[in-house]
Amino acid sequence: MVKSLCEDLDLWHAVDPFSKLTVTPDRCYYRLHGRTGFRYKYEEDELSELAALLPADKTAYVFFNNRYMLEDALLFKSLL
């Protein structure tokens, strides 16, 4: 049902890729709140895993919404 709605309404399925796969892989919008909550800090290997999930030839968005959002985003950017 979510995939059908996204297709019909031209929506991006926003998910935490460590919890759920997106139904719109060509339009990735990932929201990361921390695996165990807001105070979670992502490790480099986790962010490398995340980078591998992004489509190579499409625009994708990654939104960090955790205590270490700036540090995690900068580390993630350096891995891309």
Q: How confident is the model at residue 76 (pLDDT cuts 50, 70, 90)?
A: very high
pLDDT tens track for 39-70 = 999 999 999 999 999 988 899 999 999 999 99
> Which amino acid makes up residue 27?
R
The structure tokens listed for 30 are 């990932």
- Report the predicted TM-score, pTM, of the whole model to 2 decimal places: 0.86
Domain segments of the chain: what residues?
A: 2-79
Q: What is the pLDDT of residue 32?
A: 96
pLDDT tens track for 8-33 = 999 999 999 999 999 999 899 999 99
State the Cα–Cα distance between residues 26 and 60, nearest whole angstrom.
8
